[in-house]
Structure 1
Amino acid sequence: MIQIKLKTYFIEANKHIALIIESLDVLTPLLPVKDYAELNQLQRFALNALIFRFSKLQDLLGAKVFRTYLEYNGFNTQGISYFEILREIEKEGIVDIDTWGELRELRNKIAHNYPEELDEMVESINLFINRSTVLVNIAQKMERSFYEIERKRD
């Protein structure tokens, strides 16, 4: 059942969110990061965990949750493009397409760099830390919306 599938996705999303928040608890007091080399082992671990969990959450939302959420709301997603899915999610007031694109671009920029290049990426690291809460808010907003719809149907 689609409802159970969505609930399972939200359980997974909340695991990612919890680890994102833990990472942000370590990293946010450091802002702005000035030099990657100055980060201690825990801070580097937190940054790597943040990048990984951000990526996992974004992939989960983009690849599974958005489409399933729309299907749960009665929207036929068969054969429609990812852009059309995003446009419908935008209509639902969950996230605008530009913000989603910015988050994907930022994730790709930081995820495809190597530690020795991160000193050059300090600005991106700071932006990534700051914008991680935006992704968390999108996931939480979608989950709240799902449960509101579910309550109305009961």
Structure 2
Amino acid sequence: MGEVERLKLISAKDECEKHEARILKALEILTPSFPLTENSINSFDDEAIAVLDQFLYRFAKLQDCIGLRLIPSLYSVLENDDRVIPFIDVLNRLEKLGLLSSVNDWQFFRAIRNNLAHEYPEREDDVVDAINLLFFFMGSF
């Protein structure tokens, strides 16, 4: 492994760990509020909203870092291959190597991230369901 590849991998890992730590802290604070409802979110004070925002922001940032930095760097190092190939092929290879628990899990969390990134006021119930689902799965790690 070259020095540049090693540094990219370390940097991506460190960033992911930072986001994870902040997610876990937010989960610790938010746990008594779950499961959320539209009414409970609407009754949150400014501090609770800030913690919920932190949880969602850090989750999105973690997903982005994993998908844009960590996975490509890991694949490049392991396969000694910097060709551009479809992301699903990279995921499948990492799953085959035992470095990704499941391509389906990745796609599941990515779908939640995308759903939360595109909030629409008329779909508030969908957003609440997505947050509850995310909380349930993130809390089980």
TM normalised by structure 2 equals 0.83
The structure-2 alpha-carbon separation of the partners of 1:89 and 1:13, relative to structure 1 and needing over 3 Å to count, comes to: same
- 1:111-122 aligned within 5 A: 111-114=117-120, 117-119=123-125, 121-122=127-128
In the alignment, residue 5 of structure 1 is paired with which amino acid? Answer: K
Task: Report the alpha carbon displacement of residue 96 of structure 1 after superposing the two structures with TM.
Answer: 1.0
In the alignment, residue 96 of structure 1 is paired with which amino acid? Answer: S
DSSP-derived class of the 2:72 partner: helix
Match of 1:129 among 125, 135, 138: 135
Task: Report the alpha carbon displacement of residue 119 of structure 1 after superposing the two structures with TM.
Answer: 4.8
- C-alpha deviations, 1:62-86, integer Å up to 9, x for none? 1111111122223424121111111
Distance (whole Å) between structure 2 residues aligned to residue 104 and residue 111 of structure 1: 10
Task: Report the alpha carbon displacement of residue 131 of structure 1 after superposing the two structures with TM.
Answer: 2.5
Quote the residue 2:101 is aligned against: 95
User: What residue ranges of structure 1 are gaps of 5+ in the alignment?
Assistant: 138-154
- C-alpha deviations, 1:80-116, integer Å up to 9, x for none? 1111111112113223111111111111112211567
Task: Report the alpha carbon displacement of residue 121 of structure 1 after superposing the two structures with TM.
Answer: 3.0
Q: Count residues with an aligned counterpart.
A: 135
The answer to whether the Cα contact below 8 Å between 1:27 and 1:46 also exists between their aligned partners in 2 is: yes
Quote the residue 2:11 is aligned against: 8
Distance (whole Å) between structure 2 residues aligned to residue 45 and residue 77 of structure 1: 40
The structure-2 alpha-carbon separation of the partners of 1:133 and 1:62, relative to structure 1 and needing over 3 Å to count, comes to: farther
The answer to whether the Cα contact below 8 Å between 1:54 and 1:132 also exists between their aligned partners in 2 is: no
Quote the residue 2:44 is aligned against: 39
Quote the residue 1:144 is aligned against: none
DSSP-derived class of the 1:79 partner: coil
Task: Report the alpha carbon displacement of residue 132 of structure 1 after superposing the two structures with TM.
Answer: 3.0
Quote the residue 1:145 is aligned against: none
1:71 counterpart = 2:76? yes
- 1:11-22 aligned within 5 A: 11-22=14-25
Identity score, percent: 29
RMSD of aligned C-alpha atoms? 2.0
In the alignment, residue 54 of structure 1 is paired with which amino acid? Answer: F
